[in-house]
Amino acid sequence: MFLCRRLLFQFGAFQQFTPALRRPHVPVTRIRARASQSMASLSPESLLQRLAEYESNSSERPHKMRISYLQTYQHLRAFHRPVLATLPLSSYFSLLKHASRLELVGPVSWIIEDILELLPEPERPPAMLKIMLSATLHILPRGTLLPMLQCLHNSPTRELDKLTPESITALARIVATPTPSPTDSPLLDLLFPLLLRRLEALPQPQGADVLTYIPPDIIRASFPFVDKLLKLSQQERALKVFQVLVDSGNIPPEAVQTIQGLDDFASIIRSSLVRASTHWHWRPWQRRFCHPSFEIHATPANLSSPWP
């Protein structure tokens, strides 16, 4: 039974790390086999010592060292997970840095899960905030983001309110992903008030600045965020964000017009988003918003009329 479990672990580890190992100068099977044979005979204490050695020598042979470092952590996690509770937070951040550089979503998620479950509770919210403010954020899946945001939300020090506009922008992009997820609704519950507050606080261009104004990234991210709210039938929230965008001029007045054949709330909002995306030359958003608004409701009459 133990042998079967070990074989399954090794096969899963190979699949997980294969994308990162497909490089001409890194022989996949040799590194994988050497790591497996050596780790199988080591005690948990020896493996922890190996982690410490990798951490102190991670600047040598960067790619090889990162893979071996993460393989050691993965082995400990699979067979001796309780001992990971003895790792200091700095070790978790070192692991996270290397996994993020290789864009290994699985290991990144496992490391965050271990921080949330194994570390002392007072250390968790500051750790989650630090990760949210780092470059790791863009590769995190929604299933990992939800417990992180919940940890910040439940913190007595209100760590959630310390997120920067850049972090909120990145979160809005991730949550607005078109593919549905069971985590979408709870993520929107946490993120909506943060995004709305930031949008309301944005300064509006004045005078000559209006002529050269380009919307900041948080505005661009809010367009698909509105679309996501509509897809989940959260019309009231969608309208609030939409109204802020209109009031601030990020959706131009001429974009808010009715089109023959579009009479439901979601289609009217999306048609305005399409026009505003055209105004700002955001072609990916044009295609995204056009699909539900115009392909479903299109008629020869309204398709033959150009947008103003």
Quick one: which H or E segment has residue 38?
Answer: helix 28-40
- pLDDT of amino acid 177: 93
194 alpha carbon, distance to own chain's centre? 16
The predicted pLDDT at position 253 comes to 92
Please say whether the beta carbons of 72 and 36 come within 8 A.
no
Contacts of residue 6, defined as CB under 8 A and 6 or more positions apart, other chains included, come to 40
Measured between alpha carbons, how far apart are the two ends of the chain, in Å? 69
Amino acid at 303: L
- The pTM score is 0.79
Angle at 4 between CA 47 and CA 86, to 5 degrees: 25
DSSP character string of 246-294 = HHTTSS-GGG----TT--SHHHHHHHHHHHHHHHHT-HHHHHHHHIIII
Q: Tell me phi and psi for residue 121, to 5 degrees.
A: -55, -40
Closest CA to 167 of 191, 137, 143: 137
pLDDT along the chain (308 residues), means of 10: 47 44 34 54 90 76 78 94 96 94 94 98 97 93 98 95 96 96 98 98 89 95 97 97 96 84 82 93 81 43 32
At residue 26, φ and ψ (nearest 5 deg) are -120, 105
Q: Report, in angstroms and rounded to the nearest whole number, the Rg of the chain calculated over CA atoms.
A: 24
Amino acid 307: pLDDT? 32
Task: Find where tokens 């199988």 sit.
Answer: 40
